[in-house]
Amino acid sequence: MVRAFVGDSTITRLFGIGAQLTPPGVAMSISAVVSPPLVTVAMVSKYIALEGVDGSGKSTVAQALVARLIASGETAILVREPGGTALGEVVRGLLLDSERLDDWAEVFLFAAQRSELAREVISPALESGTWVVSDRSYYSSITYQGRGRGLGEDKVRAINEIGLDGVVPDHVFVLDVEPELALSRQEDPDRIGREGVEFQSAVRASYRGLANAEDKVVLLDGSLSADEMASKILEIVR
Ligand code: TYD
């Protein structure tokens, strides 16, 4: 089996080169085309993150997506952030239930749980060819802490990327919903969800900026049904 490092765009290029060099009908071994460092190249682009403001409905879409992948014979897991490991669930409580938290402490707690989740759960799943659908990712930290809290999107991105060590989503789908509408759907908002419309509007603007700047960040019309969104996502990722 051809194996690739997660999120490494050079892999795509290398596959491209391989395809050109291989005559039709001849099976290609990637290790014959590529020189030594690329011995274990794996699966391509199976890490999908769902993003959006609080109440945007991403959890429902994430569940629909995993169900559809499994129904089509794939292996897929659903993870959530913050959470997903024993430490992650404890940190989730600290992050969402504390009365108050220093802004930078918030950044580092999100980053700490995420780093463990990446190494203990996401990376092994991807290595075994399993799809990973994540309800939030470090893009939430970039938007919520970087823009919402005003700490700086680049700084927050950099802090997170240190701990992730390349285990980053291949696709980021943002459910684009008016914050007023999204918040009105929330029955029992958590500490960050209680920040209000202005905060969530900054978060939304940040997501939109990221979608403009990065090809892998795609905005989805939040008025579609969860099933319609899952179909759109599958069209793009497969
Ligand atoms: P989540 O459980 O996804 O809540 P919801 O389903 O209501 O959107 O996320 C919990 C809260 O944590 C939510 O307000 C978004 C916030 N959050 C951040 O501020 N930064 C992060 O990095 C993550 C992952 C979440």
**What distance in angstroms lies between residue 52's CA and the mean position of ligand 1's atoms?**
9
User: Which tens digits make up the pLDDT trace of 137-161?
Assistant: 999 999 999 999 999 999 999 999 9
Give the residue range(s) of CATH 3.40.50.300 domains in the chain: 45-237
Structure tokens at 44: 């391509």
pLDDT at 122 exceeding the cut of 50: yes
CATH code that applies to domain 45-237: 3.40.50.300
Which atom of ligand 1 sits closest to the CA of residue 81?
A: 24
> What is the token pair recorded at 127?
């290595």
> What's the pTM value of the predicted model, to 2 decimals?
0.84
Distance 108 CA to ligand 1 centre (A): 14
Q: Which sign, positive or negative, has the C-alpha torsion 121, 124, 128, 131? A: positive
Pick the residue whose CA is nearest to atom 11 on ligand 1.
192
- Ligand 1 center from residue 140 Cα (angstroms): 7
Tokens standing for residue 139: 């893009």
- State the Rg of the chain over Cα: 19
Quick one: average pLDDT of 46-55? 98
The pLDDT value given to residue 38: 53
What distance in angstroms lies between residue 137's CA and the mean position of ligand 1's atoms? 9
pLDDT at 5 over 70: no
Residues having CB within 6 Å of any atom of ligand 1: 54-55, 59, 81-82, 96, 110, 135-136, 140-141, 144-145, 190, 192-193
| pLDDT (average), residues 156-183 | 97
Q: Which residues, other chains included, contact 200 with Cβ-Cβ below 8 Å and sequence gap of 6+?
A: 53, 54, 148, 179, 182, 183
Report the distance separating Cα 214 and Cα 50, nearest Å: 15
- The closest residue, in CA terms, to atom 19 on ligand 1 is 144
Atom of ligand 1 nearest to the CA of 148: 19
Q: What is the average pLDDT across 114-120?
A: 98
Say whether 86 sits in a helix, a strand or coil.
Answer: helix
Per-residue pLDDT for 8 more than 50?
no
- pLDDT greater at residue 39 or residue 114: 114
| Spatial distance between the Cα atoms of 7 and 47, rounded to a whole number of angstroms | 8
Question: 221 has which bridge partners?
Answer: 176
